[in-house]
Chain A
Amino acid sequence: MIRNITQKERISSIRDKRFIILGSIILILLLTSAATGIINYRVLAAERKLAQSTATENFNNQPDRHPHRVAHYGSYAFRPKSVLSFLDFGLDSYTGTMVYLEAHQQNSANFSQVQQSGAMIRFGEMTIAFVMQWLIPLLIIFLCFNTFTLEHEEGTLKVLLSQGVSMKAIAKAKLLGYIHVISMIIFPAFFFVFLFVLSMNNFLLDGDLLLRTAVFMLTYLLYFFIFITGSILISAVNKHSRTALVTLLGIWIFSIVLMPKALSNLGSSFYEEPSKAAMDASVHEESKNGIDGHDPLDKRLAQFKQGLLEKYQVDSLSQLPVNVDGLIMALGEESSSQIYQEHFDELVAIYEDQNRLSVWAGFINPYLAIRNISMSMAGTDFFHYVDFLNAAEKYRYALTQHLNNLQATKVAHKDKTTRLSADIYATYPPFYYKGPAFTKALANVAVSIVALAFWTALIYGLIILTMNKKKNLI
């Protein structure tokens, strides 16, 4: 009997014109978004790779220069596109792509996609994640909203129940039937996605990539399960198809269109971030006067110089075996970088506070949970972005200190004109960035994964409970 019901749902769905049309539209959109995602990835990845190699080439082929000139000439960090970013652009279009790395100051990441676009980009982006997060739930709603109400309206439910089948059994059978139906769209789509992922990586098997893809797909399956079960549940508790549909559409609009925006705006009104100018001014102030204002840099430098003179037992700085200019520069860089890092970490903490509301709301709204997991697996979420910024700053600091060290050891005191051979600079390794490992990305979205699992259990429990209660009501 159960198998019959399951089969009936499957066959009637496939025979339904709605399903054929909507299903094909979704498949076409999935392929379109895969295509745009891949083109977008290829264009941007190539652009940044070229820019990074040009920057390296320029750096390695610069004329003979004084080390401190090179420190000002600096370098660039371009954020490489993650391979899976074609699945979900996430925050990629909203984050800067290039950081200019120079001595003495930390620059902002510039040239984000959104800063170079008009109003249209704010409507969203054509990605596989968009189709799966927004459109497939709608398809599910359209398919399932009248699964019980129609039987109710046409009187077939009574007939079924009179055969001795319980409501719970019918619901389970229907659930199974719709899972079959949706699978007919999802699995071919996932198969293509998997092929694309492999081809993006030149068919080399990479554990990190495969694990990310697997979690990406598995969590989407849970997301769809939640919508299928939820739609059947709403259909079972409503008498009319009209009310079931309107309720489901209302839920869809509320959780996908309205709530994410409201929460993220609310979060940012609770916690205010400082402007970049104010942050830079504080860093400048604190490095000049000491964090508490009582330990000015000038005083520290004087002490440092005095200490050197005593240590090497000489009368003047020019008699020192090392060039004090480089050491002073290194000292200043060390203190200002430390202070900057503290401010930057504070800023990141403020952003995390702003975003916390949206993360925990995953327990109320599964869309928010899947959005986080999806971005994280694609390597395009906030965590991955901050990791890149930190890597860029780390490289900037190391390069600057390397150059200060060259100045301390290879150039004489007060000498501002000697040029070191370019070969010395060319040996310094270029900026290379590899994103965080799968495990770190996964740990970062643990809350969202728990939220999604919670929803899966909750919705299944709810449907079983409701059906048990409904045993003889109809």
Chain B
Amino acid sequence: MKQLRILLHFEWLNFKKEKSLVAFCLLMLLSGMYGIFSGDYEIKKQRNKIAGLDEIYQSNIKEMAEKFPDSADAGDIGYYHAAFAKNHPDNWAALAIGQRDVSPAYLKIRLLAVQNQLYNSENTNPLKLATGSFDLSFVMVFLLPLFIIAISFNLLSAEKEQGTLRLLLAQPLKLATLFMAKVIFRFLIISTVVLLLFAIALLWTGATPDLRALYWILVVLLYATFWLGTSCAIAALQRSSAFNAISLLGVWLLLAVIAPVLINAATDISKPVQEGLQLTMVQREAVHGGWDKPKAETMDGFFKHYPEYTNTGSVEGAFKWKWYYAFQELGDRSVETLYKAYRQKMLDRLSLASNLSVVSPPAKLQEVLNGIAGTDLQQHLDFIAGTKAYHEELKAFYYPYLYQDRAFQHVDFAKEPQYSFTAAPDYTKAASGIVVLLAANVLVSLLAIFMFKTNTKELK
């Protein structure tokens, strides 16, 4: 034990002397801090956009009062007025922007058929999206392994190349102990950097340190030990520093870049999505076809779903909104199966990618971090489903005016349902990710021990 303490102490002295190591730590810390700032900034931007909606909403209500003085036909309101379904980011979203930058943070919803309102996009800069977010998750997924590799690729080879290894081993000291001391020292440095960045992130973004924090720390540290283990396995081969650097970068490239890229290609090729395009086109035909169908047919179809309005007044003759909204409703219903198929296809793509990503700890980590932050496609699909349900609420609010022939009073806007969504963290994904990373750790430790055992003999 005392030996270990002495070794750690000397590693520390060594570390302080080695300018490049200190520089790597600083670089990692700086990148992490920029990641925290940049992620937080992106979320602030989204919050600003969401905050700006209130003014648009209020000015629309004012315009309605001007356009329809006294009271209004709810049909006109349903057509000219829009409400907003808002997807509020949790503070945690700043730590992993995930798919939040490609999915809109709000949806503008009118009483009209909802299916072509669910997939509208926000103004986005495609070059920025394609280059990706520089958030803390990027720093952890991509840069943390590089940092670990940078401080441990010459774990033993440096001492060997400087000729100090022989001197050290001439002392009553086992190579395994020396090796362990070096690994433990590096683990301490890495966890200090990770925890420090995490603490800064919590303070800067105001993310609540609840169960998510525990998951975050656990999964990132497991990821770090995986890469430390990989470095050990390569170092145990007792080859040159250059060999170690090339091999480790090769492993990084394979796991953090090539594997996820191939997983994505496999997902795209085996499960292409056409359902979205089909859905909108079929829905348009159904909705606009409403104009050309006999009115009675449309109303009968509508009353099947809303028997309570069966004895509403006649729609024959001049244009009546209640007929218009009836065929909007039927248009939505005609694509219900396509909607489900589209949603299912995206879920299938997600689960296929998730299953394939067990081969790549970086991909797994990204998935877990997005899950914790509530920023993956899964959460956006939840928001879409929530918005669809919100549209049902709006219908429940407006239909009585329409089908019971009641005038809409402008004060009634105060009673209009509102919808705010905040994604819940995906603990199941986090837990399964932890299992995968644990397995990867076991695998790589066994490999490291095996390499160490088979290669130390040569040294002696």
Contact = CB atoms under 8 A, between A and B. Distances in A.
Interface of A: 29, 32, 36, 39-40, 43-44, 47-48, 51, 54-55, 58, 63, 65, 69, 72-74, 76, 78, 90-91, 93-98, 100, 107-126, 130, 134-135, 138, 142, 145-146, 241-242, 245-246, 249, 253, 257-258, 260-262, 264-269, 272-281, 285, 347, 351, 354-355, 358, 381-382, 385, 416
A114 B344 CA distance: 16
B212 to A, nearest CB: 17
Interface stretch (B263-271, B331-339, B449-457): B263-271
B132 A261 contact: yes
Nearest to B84: A277
A269 B276 contact: no
Given A73-B284, A118-B349, A273-B123, A126 B138 contact: no
Given A115-B377, A116-B377, A126-B265, 14 more contacts: A90-B130, A95-B126, A110-B119, A120-B363, A123-B260, A123-B366, A130-B261, A242-B242, A264-B128, A275-B106, A277-B106, A351-B125, A358-B127, A358-B131
A145 B249 CA distance: 14
B458 to A, nearest CB: 20
B401 to A, nearest CB: 24
Q: Is the interface of A mostly helix, strand, loop or mixed?
A: helix
A280 B134 CA distance: 30
B298 to A, nearest CB: 15
Contact of B264 (A72, A123, A262): A123
Contacts of A55: 281
A165 to B, nearest CB: 26
A115 B102 contact: yes
Contacts of B264: 117, 120-121, 123-126
Given A114-B102, A146-B242, A94 B263 contact: no
Main secondary structure on chain B at its contact with chain A?
helix
B130 A93 contact: yes
Given A264-B127, A273-B123, A120 B253 contact: no
Nearest to B119: A110
A73 B287 CA distance: 9
A401 B143 CA distance: 54
Given A112-B102, A277-B52, A94 B292 contact: no
A128 to B, nearest CB: 13
A58 B104 CA distance: 30
B277 A47 contact: yes
Interface string B320-349: 000000000000000000000000001001
A24 B59 CA distance: 64
Contact of B246 (A108, A117, A245, A278): A245
B269 A43 contact: yes
Looking at B42, B84, B241, the one whose CB has the most chain A CB atoms below 10 A away is: B241
Nearest to A47: B274
Nearest to B34: A262
B277 A273 contact: no
Contacts of A145: 242
Contact of B241 (A125, A242, A257): A242
Contacts of B346: 116
A49 B142 CA distance: 38
A6 B68 CA distance: 85
A65 B291 contact: yes
A157 B446 CA distance: 43
Interface stretch (B5-13, B183-191, B350-358, B388-396): B350-358
B230 interface: no
B122 interface: yes
Interface in B8-44: 31, 34, 38, 41-42
Given A58-B281, A249-B249, A73 B261 contact: no
B120 interface: yes
B273 interface: yes
Interface string B132-161: 111000100011001000100010000001
B122 A276 contact: yes
B91 interface: no
Interface in B351-371: 353-354, 357, 362-363, 366-367, 370
Contact of B245 (A111, A242, A257): A242
A110 B120 contact: yes
A96 B119 CA distance: 11
B378 interface: yes
Contacts of B154: 242
A74 B319 CA distance: 21
A275 B125 CA distance: 12
B351 to A, nearest CB: 9
Nearest to B153: A246
B353 to A, nearest CB: 5
A134 to B, nearest CB: 7
A94 B130 contact: yes
A294 to B, nearest CB: 17
A275 B123 contact: yes
B72 to A, nearest CB: 18
Nearest to B365: A119
A69 B291 contact: yes
Given A109-B121, A123-B261, A278-B56, A91 B142 contact: no
B265 A125 contact: yes
B59 A91 contact: no
A256 to B, nearest CB: 10
Nearest to B137: A119
Contacts of B288: 69, 72-73
A245 B265 CA distance: 31
B41 to A, nearest CB: 5
Given A253-B146, A281-B56, A116 B128 contact: no
A140 to B, nearest CB: 13
B122 A275 contact: yes
A24 B237 CA distance: 24
B123 A265 contact: no
Contact of B49 (A95, A264, A275): A275
A257 to B, nearest CB: 6
Contact of A265 (B133, B261, B281): B133
B241 A118 contact: no
B277 to A, nearest CB: 5
B53 interface: yes
A98 B277 contact: yes
